[in-house]
Amino acid sequence: MRYGHFDDDQREYVIDRPDTPLPWINYLGTDAYFGIISNTAGGYSFYRDAKLRRLTRYRYNNAPLDVGGRYVYVRDDETGDYWSPSWQPTPERELTGYECRHGLSYTKIASSRGGIRAETLYFAPLGETLEVWRVRVTNDRDTAAALSLFSSVEFCLWDAQDDATNFQRNYSIGQVEVADGVIYHKTEYRERRDHFAYFACSEELAGFDTSRDAFLGAYRGYDRPAAVENGVAGDSIAHGWQPIGSHHVRLALAPGETREVNFVLGYAENPKDAKFDPPGSQTLNKTGVRPVIERWLRPETVEQGFAGLRAYWDDLLEKIQVRTPDGDTDRMVNVWNAYQCLVTFNMSRSASLYESGIGRGMGFRDSNQDLLGFVHMVPERARQRILDIAATQKETGGAYHQYQPLTKRGNNDIGEGFNDDPLWLVLGVGAYLKETGDTAILDQPVPFDNAPGSEVPLVEHLRRSLRYTLDRLGPHGLPLIGRADWNDCLNLNCFSDTPGEPFQTTENAHGGVAESVFIGGLFVLAAKEMAGIAALHGGDGEKYRVAAEKMAGTVAEHGWDGAWFRRAYDFHGNVIGSGENDEGQIFIEPQGICVLGGVGLDDGLAVKALDSVAERLATPHGIVLQQPAYSGYRIELGEISSYPPGYKENAGIFCHTNPWIMIAEAMTGNGDRAFDYYRRLNPSAREAISEVHRCEPYVYAQMIAGKDAPTHGEAKNSWLSGTAAWNFVAITQWILGIRPEFTGLRVDPVLPEGWTGFEATRRFRGTTYQIRVVGAGRVTHLEIDGARVEGNVIPLAEPGAVVRVTAFA
């Protein structure tokens, strides 16, 4: 069952009924100012950091879900009837012609009631720290209409965590100011007022409200605000409690007439050296923001801003466009998967419907992997991201697991000890170098743990990343797992030296001797990558190749179980992910990553491992993480066994890992299986079962319930997941095979049965390659602008050139 459809020409997903199984969200903003917005206008906005600079309030886990947003109310002043055109928060008011169009960084929601149509376009223009709501109201009646329009947002007192918990303080601190029709939210941010929010309207106001109590009325909700019901705003000024922003505008519309009303919600800072006179006064930098507000309330500016946003996306998406025999592939590669990759770049794991914006900031391993999916679109920003991440690395090579986007400092609450973290930096930098050829980044000075004076060239950070693994090998010569590896929930050092006494601290967890086959495979992959990087940097990379070979040998010796790769050894030296175990006999992660590192490609182990995955882990909804699921908690395994069978890391379809298997299948030449797995997860291909999948059909989710779960096939945690980047890599670089390498662009497709080629346009290092793959096998030679070239690597061309390439397969 579907709840909408793709509009491929407009690059929009059109939701045609508001009661989707879950709120289906989209993102506003492309750089510093961001927001999430659902198909019924729920969501919130923030500046740079969803925890520390939250503009508007949102209540997670509410009933109903998703109340709190950017609401507009229309009121028929003749009858007193009122409604919100976004359905929420007035769902009992019946609407006709409801439609939500989620586009690239914008959302349009429209509906009609009683012959009045309202359409609101929400977007955050490029280069500004504000969002625009463009409301168009049309009178479709054949008589004149007297209407009221109300806007509403509830302000968050900046620090979202404090805002949701510290009421003894919060109920006294809210401060607003209303000047020339603009509502300013200026609550102090503990130390001083260095920033504020504004909310403005293009029309002359009939009134306004800034006190929630005044707007809603006591004991009332957003479903029936007293001000809207009565058609009169209270001109209220909030003193503490809950500051809000609401404008009231009256509209008289002739039959057939459309009026446009614009609202602007924005973030501003006072100049750093602002002198408040007298000290501590209420002065805001109103003169600074007035011109910005006035500009963005003008319809022409709004039109231009929106056109600019559309052009920005057209340009980014042009970097890769494909035309294949499969429409779901084209749609995801050309639009939605790329879009999701850029959203994960901006958000990491911070703000979604499932990430509260206060829990997790930028993940070290997450952000490095996200980079694989967005580096081709925004290479300069990828460069900065790499430098920011590397600057949080410790001198030991160890990494903070997460850092805060606003401060860019490592997050001490979570600390370090996830022993795979440092290796992902090598892969992130490798991907950047392959895309851009910018070897200068390797010499860029980068500090350790942001400490001034500790700068070393970036390449030294990469060396330390590898060293970190080699300094921490366990009894079998495999890497120590630490707190956990990629699988956060595989906590194998749960015991201290005193049997039965669980570890409590990171320090203790470090001391454990549990080992990870996964990190072994990842090390092989990263060390080989480093050999390539070292060669670019004037070395020969030999020692990294030797280290990779040695680790590959250890993995084959102690990590092979007969028909698949083992997962780990626990604190006591017991094997995990083996036929010897009663549950958790085979895990997906090492089958993927070891093959990606090349382990088992020459001696048949890889093919065997992948056959075991097909036999034991694959389901119609994707490949589950392990089997058999753990039926109960085991202290020696940790969090993984705390999940009910079939969910999350306990045998859920943890989508992030599936593309590793797709890539591994492509590496072993099995295009059928690779593509089959790809389609099982492809959101567009799953659109028809939206009532089962339940999350948005235009983006990947982190998890789909596995076969042990009663809700097999149900997705959770959509949007912010490494699934986006890895699926993009799997389909574009390994199945379609258009793969950036240090020396050029390789064209090495491994296609499914029945395909006889495809076409692609790829912008790479300033050149546009128009690629046509002809044939169903492996590429033997290329024709580049008419000249034959043996093999499958396109040599670098002049930047600016348009090069026609035919690949004969």
Residue with tokens 């040998």: 553
Q: Which of 349/383 has CB closer to ligand BGC?
A: 349
What kind and span of H or E run contains 357?
none
Residue 18 touches which member of ligand BGC, ligand NOJ, none, C-beta under 5-8 Å by kind: none
The amino acid sitting at 520 is G
Is residue 101 a contact point for ligand BGC (CB under 6 A)?
Answer: no
Give the nearer residue to ligand BGC in terms of CB position, either 561 or 649: 649
Q: Closest distance between ligand NOJ and the C-beta of residue 493, in Å?
A: 16
Which residues are 209's β-sheet partners?
236, 246
Provide CB contacts within 8 A for 452, sequence distance 6+: none
**Interface pick for ligand NOJ out of 98, 486, 569, 660 (rule CB under 6 A):** 486
Pick one of 357, 363, 417, 740: the residue that binds ligand NOJ (CB under 6 A): 363
Helices 299-317 and 337-347: angle between axes, nearest 10 degrees: 110
Shortest gap between Cβ of 201 and ligand NOJ (angstroms)?
40
Q: Supply the minimum distance, in Å, between the C-beta of residue 106 and ligand BGC.
A: 30
CB nearer to ligand BGC: pick between 263 and 643: 643
Nearer to ligand BGC, 148 or 626 (CB): 626
DSSP code of residue 744: E
From residue 637, give the alpha-carbon distance in Å to each of 237, 522, 575, 698: 55, 21, 11, 35
**How many Å apart are CA 665 and CA 669, to the nearest integer?**
6
**489 near ligand NOJ, judged by CB under 6 A:** yes
365 near ligand NOJ, rule: CB under 6 A: yes
In sequence order, the 6+-apart residues with CB closer than 8 A to the CB of 454 are: 395, 447, 448
Amino acid at 441: I
Instruction: Identify which range of 296-304, 473-481, 484-492, 576-584 contacts ligand NOJ by CB under 6 A.
Output: 484-492
Active site residue 19: no
Choice between 488 and 676, CB closer to ligand NOJ: 488
Structure tokens, 169 = 């303080």
Which candidate, 198, 84, 216, places its Cα nearest to that of 137? 84
Q: Which of 119, 209, 649, 696 is close enough to bind ligand NOJ by CB under 6 A?
A: 649
SS3 for 374? helix
Distance CA 24, CA 715 (A): 12
Instruction: Identify which of residues 265 and 526 has a Cβ nearer to ligand NOJ in the complex.
Output: 526
Beta strands in 655-765, from DSSP E residues, in sequence order: 701-704, 715-718, 738-741, 744-747, 757-764
Q: Does 487 bind ligand NOJ (CB under 6 A)?
A: yes
| C-alpha of 646 from chain center | 24
CA distances 515 to 477, 512, 649, 747, Å, are 8, 9, 18, 37
Q: Say whether residue 349 binds ligand NOJ (CB under 6 A).
A: yes
Q: How far is the CB of 483 from ligand BGC (least distance, A)?
A: 11
How many residues touch ligand NOJ under the rule CB under 6 A: the total is 9
Closest to ligand BGC by CB, 111 vs 367, is 367
Kindly state the smallest distance separating residue 747's Cβ from ligand BGC, in Å: 35
Residue whose C-beta lies closest to ligand NOJ: 488
Residue linked to tokens 């492809």:
682
What residue type is assigned to position 199 of the chain? F
* Segment near ligand NOJ (CB under 6 A); pick from 23-31, 361-369, 606-614, 627-635: 361-369
**CB closer to ligand NOJ, 33 vs 354:** 354
Secondary structure, 3-state, 231-255: CCCCCECCECCCEEEEEEEEEEECC
The torsion angles phi and psi of 19, rounded to 5 degrees, stand at: -90, 60
Give the HSE-up count for residue 32: Cα atoms under 13 Å, Cβ half-sphere. 9
- Cβ 283 to ligand NOJ shortest distance, Å: 43
Asked whether 27 and 36 are in contact (CB, 8 A), the reply is yes
Stretch that binds ligand NOJ, among 178-186, 359-367, 465-473, 495-503 (CB under 6 A): 359-367
Give the shortest CB-648-to-ligand BGC separation in angstroms: 5
In the complex, what is the shortest distance from the CB of residue 366 to ligand NOJ, in angstroms, rounded to a whole number? 5
Shortest Å distance, C-beta 191 to ligand NOJ = 32
Q: Is 328 in the site for ligand NOJ (CB under 6 A)?
A: no
Residue number, 140 or 639, with CB nearest to ligand BGC: 639
| Run of H or E including 76 | strand 71-76
Binding of residue 648 to ligand BGC (CB under 6 A): yes
Instruction: Give residue for tokens 């079962």.
Output: 689
- Which C-beta is closer to ligand BGC: that of 309 or that of 720? 720
Question: Is there binding between residue 489 and ligand BGC (CB under 6 A)?
Answer: yes
Dihedral angle of Cα 162, 67, 352, 165, to the nearest 10 degrees: 10
From CA 368, how far away is CA 363, in angstroms rounded? 8
Distance between CA atoms of 337 and 346, rounded to whole angstroms? 14
- Which residue in the set 8, 257, 330, 488 belongs to the binding site for ligand BGC (CB under 6 A)? 488
Distance of closest approach, residue 489 Cβ to ligand NOJ, in angstroms? 6
Query: Which residue stretch of 281-289, 358-366, 604-612, 779-787 sits at the interface with ligand NOJ (rule: CB under 6 A)?
Result: 358-366
Q: Residue 44 in contact with residue 34, Cβ under 8 Å?
A: no
Q: How far is the CB of 510 from ligand BGC (least distance, A)?
A: 18
CB of 701 to ligand BGC, least distance (A): 12
The residue behind tokens 């010569």 is 477
SS3 call for 588: helix
Pick between residue 262 and residue 717 the one whose CB is nearest to ligand BGC. Answer: 717
> CB under 5 to 8 A by kind: which of ligand NOJ, ligand BGC, none does 461 bind?
none
Among 128, 203, 355, 366, binds ligand NOJ (CB under 6 A): 366
How far apart are alpha carbons 370 and 54 in whole angstroms?
24
Site string for ligand BGC, 491-520 (x = CB under 6 A): ------------------------------
Q: How far is the CB of 49 from ligand NOJ (least distance, A)?
A: 18
Among 49, 485, 515, 649, binds ligand BGC (CB under 6 A): 649
Q: Applying CB under 6 A, does 419 fall inside the site for ligand NOJ?
A: no
Q: Which of 488, 611, 672, 676 is catalytic?
A: 488
Longest Cα–Cα distance of the chain, Å, equals: 84
Comparison of 331 and 365: residue with beta carbon closer to ligand NOJ: 365
Report which residue's Cβ sits closest to ligand BGC.
488
- What is the DSSP annotation of 119-169? EEEEE--TT-SEEEEEEEEEE-SSS-EEEEEEEEEEEEEE-HHHHTT-HHH
Contact by Cβ (8 Å): 706, 624: yes
* Beta pairing class for 207-211 and 715-718: unpaired
Give the contact letters, 710-749, x = binds to ligand BGC (CB under 6 A), - = no. ----------------------------------------
Nearer to ligand NOJ, 365 or 621 (CB): 365
Stretch that binds ligand NOJ, among 109-117, 316-324, 362-370, 752-760 (CB under 6 A): 362-370
In 473-621, which residue ranges form alpha helices assigned H by DSSP?
506-511, 517-536, 542-558, 588-596, 605-616
- Total residues at the site for ligand BGC (CB under 6 A)? 5
- The contact pattern for ligand BGC, residues 618-647, with x = CB under 6 A and - = no contact, is ---------------------x--------
Which residue do the tokens 């025999």 mark? 325
Is residue 394 within 8 Å of 454, Cβ to Cβ?
A: no
Residues near ligand NOJ, by CB under 6 A? 349, 363, 365-366, 486-489, 649
Residues near ligand BGC, by CB under 6 A? 488-489, 639, 648-649
Residues with catalytic roles: 488
